[in-house]
Amino acid sequence: MKLPLFALLLAASFAAAGAPAHASSPFAQARDQFLAATRGDTAARDAAIEAFAKLAESQPEHPVYLAYHGAALTLKGRDASKPWEKMRFAEQGADRIEKALARLGPQHDAAIADGSPESIETRAVAANSLLALPAIMHRGGPGKRALQAALDSPLLDGAHAATRASVFGAAARLAAKEGRAADEAQWQRRIVALPANAAGIAAMRERAAARLKELGQ
């Protein structure tokens, strides 16, 4: 179960993670490990799993930690060599992600360390993770709902440009998968329209522009 696009999107999403004041926070460190895991670093993956498990246990009022813990477990499923291990870790991760989504409430619209609303970041992680899983796991429905909730939220406009690019990218991939070329082009244009100097999105803007050319836009 390979998730290359998931890895690219998550890495781009959080390249701008954390203001300097929060650079040494446990969350920022765990997220850096998660980013390295999306690029195939298995030691960082295991460290991220452990770090986010501790954060989720010690601060259950922050579902974003549980979402990241689940996403890191899906990466362990991606990297597993045996089919049953791939499925087991992916299922464990998806279960945690769905629990995180169920815990979201109005209080989670407040910003977390990097300034993005916790609800938006949780849903961005959930959408990218769940929609990347095989259809046989039946996680597409929750993934779509998480994505739609992020897109519908008035808080999305205030999130980091990289986080918005992640959400728009997930929407574009879903539209492409479902054969909705016009919708895909719409979301790719939203990525291209993001500020050119925003940290963490240059590569995503380039890929979106290239995809628009492929679509004849």
Q: Among 18-27, 46-55, 157-166, which stretch is predicted with the lowest mean pLDDT?
A: 18-27
**pLDDT of 24:** 64
Q: Which residue has the higher pLDDT, 198 or 107?
A: 107
pTM over 0.95: no
Contact of 146 with 101, CB cutoff 8 Å: yes
Alpha helices, H only, 80-201: 83-103, 118-130, 140-152, 161-177, 181-192
Contact of 187 with 172, CB cutoff 8 Å: yes
Question: Using a CB cutoff of 8 Å and minimum separation of 24, what contacts does 148-151 make?
Answer: 149/123, 150/120, 150/123, 150/124
Structural domains of the chain sorted by starting position, each given as residue range(s) with its CATH number in brackets: 4-158 (1.25.40)
**10 Å Cβ neighbour count for 107?**
10
**pLDDT of 91:** 97
Q: What are the residues facing 117 on neighbouring strands?
A: 111
Longest dimension (CA), the chain: 50
Cα Rg of the chain (Å, integer): 16
